[in-house]
Structure 1
């Protein structure tokens, strides 16, 4: 238990000594990682980008849901491509 308390004390001391540049940089990096599924959905121009962005906030508390959103954001149009292939008629 003392090891956990020492770790906590060291963590609190490090945050108290952090300067503004570090805190802004850490906050920016944290938000970029948290909203990575939404950013990927926007970059790949997914039709469900709004739903992904809405679900991104609570999904950030669960790694499983967050990873699922990343998969959804990256592979969103794969089903569209497969559906287009299925509609193609064979050449006779």
Structure 2
């Protein structure tokens, strides 16, 4: 229990000595990681970008849902390429 108290006190001291640049940088990093599936959907799967972005807001709380969105954002066009290679129906 004492190690938890030491860890908490060291974190509190670190946040007390942090400046505004650190908090802005940390906030931008946090938002970039939270919305990473949306950013990847913008790059890979533009058709479902709105759905992924909308679902990304609550999905950040659950790692399972966030990882599922991450997979969906990355694999959008890949499944269509594989379907055309095998002469299958494209995924909508």
TM-score of the two chains, using structure 2 as the length reference: 0.83
Look up the match of 1:20: 20
Q: Distance in 1 between matches of 2:16 and 2:26?
A: 14
How far residue 80 of structure 1 moved from its aligned partner, in angstroms, is 2.3
Structure in which a larger fraction of residues adopt helix: 2
Q: Is the 8 A contact 2:44 2:74 kept in 1?
A: yes
Q: Distance in 2 between matches of 1:21 and 1:40?
A: 26
**Rg larger in 1 or in 2?**
1
How far residue 44 of structure 1 moved from its aligned partner, in angstroms, is 1.7
For these two proteins, the number of residue pairs brought into alignment is 88
The runs of 5 or more residues in structure 1 that have no matched partner are none
Look up the match of 1:80: 80
Calculate the aligned-residue CA RMSD, in Å: 1.8
TM-score of the two chains, using structure 1 as the length reference: 0.83
The runs of 5 or more residues in structure 2 that have no matched partner are none
Secondary structure, in 3 states, of the residue corresponding to 1:77?
Answer: helix
